[in-house]
């Protein structure tokens, strides 16, 4: 009898999806799969300039067993200014793509809200401050005996960067 159990490392996406899906379903009415597939669903031009925020499901009407009890949701999409017009023009096609993704008519309408889609890039560049003469002499004493000039210059640059960062951080 073969076991369905997997051994070894598991992809982080599998674990994160199991944790995030219930939260997204409860708070936003959708799953992480829709967020992950959004660039493919929306296409090249709209994938980077928009993102789904929420599936707004209408309150249930009628008895759960009736055929007409189900009403499709409204997909709320954040979009950056210039792409909003394009998104509005392609709303019908986008709704059909989302429904194809879910496999049933889950979405009836698209609501566009203007908002930031991409996060601002973080500047990770560290400014190197000038070193004192004593620091430069110390670096020269540590690297002066190295015969290979390329290695010596690389180690000097590394030591200067390390000392300037320590000095700036207050270490």
CATH number at residue 18: 3.30.300
Residue at 99 is within a domain: yes
Q: Structurally, how many domains does the chain consist of? A: 2
- pLDDT per residue as tens digits for the range 63-106: 555 555 567 889 999 998 888 899 999 999 999 999 898 888 88
Q: Same domain for 78 and 156?
A: no
Q: Same domain for 100 and 21?
A: yes
What residue ranges of the chain have pLDDT lower than 70?
1-8, 10-31, 60-70, 119-128, 166-171
Give the structural domain span for 71. 13-114
Q: Same domain for 94 and 26?
A: yes
CA of 61: how far to CAs of 55, 56, 64, 100, 163, in Å? 18, 15, 8, 25, 68
Q: Same domain for 88 and 149?
A: no
Length of the chain in terms of residues written: 171
pTM exceeds 0.75 for this model = no
Residue at 5 is within a domain: no
């Amino acid at each position: 009898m073969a076991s369905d159990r997997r051994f070894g490392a598991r992809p982080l996406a599998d674990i994160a999806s199991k944790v995030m899906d219930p939260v997204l379903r409860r708070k936003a009415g959708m799953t992480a799969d829709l967020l992950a597939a959004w660039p493919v669903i929306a296409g090249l031009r709209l994938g980077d300039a928009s993102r789904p925020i929420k599936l707004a499901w209408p309150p249930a009407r009628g008895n759960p067993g009736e055929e007409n009890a189900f009403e499709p949701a409204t997909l709320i999409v954040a979009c950056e200014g210039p792409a909003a017009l394009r998104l509005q023009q392609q709303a019908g096609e986008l709704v059909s793509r989302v429904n194809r993704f879910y496999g049933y008519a889950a979405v009836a309408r698209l609501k566009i809200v203007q908002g930031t889609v991409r996060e601002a890039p973080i500047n990770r560049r560290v400014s190197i401050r000038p070193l004192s003469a004593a620091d430069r002499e110390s670096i020269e004493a540590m690297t002066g005996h190295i015969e290979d000039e390329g290695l010596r210059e690389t180690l000097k640059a590394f030591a200067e960067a390390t000392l300037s960062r320590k000095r700036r951080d207050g270490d």
